[in-house]
Chains A and B, each alone.
Chain A
Amino acid sequence: DQQVKQNSPSLSVQEGRISILNCDYTNSMFDYFLWYKKYPAEGPTFLISISSIKDKNEDGRFTVFLNKSAKHLSLHIVPSQPGDSAVYFCAASEETSGSRLTFGEGTQLTVNP
């Protein structure tokens, strides 16, 4: 199942700089997108979401951008903090079919002090 793909398994950034995590999708029926963060031995924690009617959603240090024509979304974290080090999952859903989430593989973000 390659409907949601995160091509970078890992990303390393310096504290204070911007982290950009990318996600691509193939299913044009997806109309709601989410980012989850996961620490080891914990469940995924919701971060931020965006509906397909928008191209940007911002919440504090986190901003999600959606490019529907390219079927691409990205998560920007500014400024990055060491506590942001975790695995970040992109997920997508077709709202018309309920709230079933299709996840990407995840990207391990490491923020170095």
Chain B
Amino acid sequence: EPEVTQTPSHQVTQMGQEVILRCVPISNHLYFYWYRQILGQKVEFLVSFYNNEISEKSEIFDDQFSVERPDGSNFTLKIRSTKLEDSAMYFCASSELGSLSGNTIYFGEGSWLTVV
């Protein structure tokens, strides 16, 4: 089965440092997403991306966050200056279509970010 791959699986960074989390979505998918799950909390939507543009973002996705599709395969999430509260599991996801009906959003295994 096709899968979304994420790197790194775990990263420890110092507060204030920049972090880039990388994702390779499924090859024929056109819609990309980042979600995060803080330990003990819900999985939360961060951002969706289509046609090289952000299509929707949540209130969590402030100016410290950015996303990019630098080439034909990678989709990245950058956190400019990490804070302790950014510690979470970050999930990349992708889907073939933008609507949910008859569509499936596939998630990667996650990148665990620890900010110290």
Spell out A's residues near B (CB within 8 Å).
1, 32, 34, 36, 41-46, 49, 51, 89, 91, 93, 95, 97-106
Number of A-B contacts (CB under 8 A): 64
Report the contact-size class of chain B (Cβ under 8 Å from the partner): 20 to 34
Which residues between 68 and 107 of chain B lie within 8 Å of chain A, taking CB atoms? 91, 93, 95, 97-101, 103-107
> Given the known A-B contacts A44-B91, A89-B43, A105-B42, are A98 and B105 also in contact in the complex, defined by CB atoms under 8 Å?
no
Contact of B42 among A32, A42, A104 (CB under 8 A): A104
List 12 A-B residue pairs with CB atoms under 8 Å apart, sorted by A's residue number: A43-B107, A44-B107, A95-B100, A98-B55, A98-B98, A99-B33, A99-B98, A99-B105, A100-B56, A103-B42, A103-B44, A105-B42
Which residues between 26 and 54 of chain B lie within 8 Å of chain A, taking CB atoms? 31, 33, 35, 41-45, 48
Contact of A93 among B97, B100, B107 (CB under 8 A): B100
Q: Are B91 and A98 neighbours in the complex by a CB distance under 8 Å?
A: no
B106 contacts across to A, CB distance below 8 A: 46
Q: Are B108 and A43 neighbours in the complex by a CB distance under 8 Å?
A: yes
B19 contacts across to A, CB distance below 8 A: none
Q: How long is the Cα–Cα vector from A97 to B56 in the complex, in angstroms? A: 9
A101 contacts across to B, CB distance below 8 A: 35, 43, 45, 105
- Given pairs A43-B4, A98-B55, 11 additional interface contacts (CB within 8 A): A1-B42, A32-B100, A42-B110, A43-B107, A46-B104, A91-B43, A97-B56, A99-B31, A99-B33, A99-B103, A100-B56
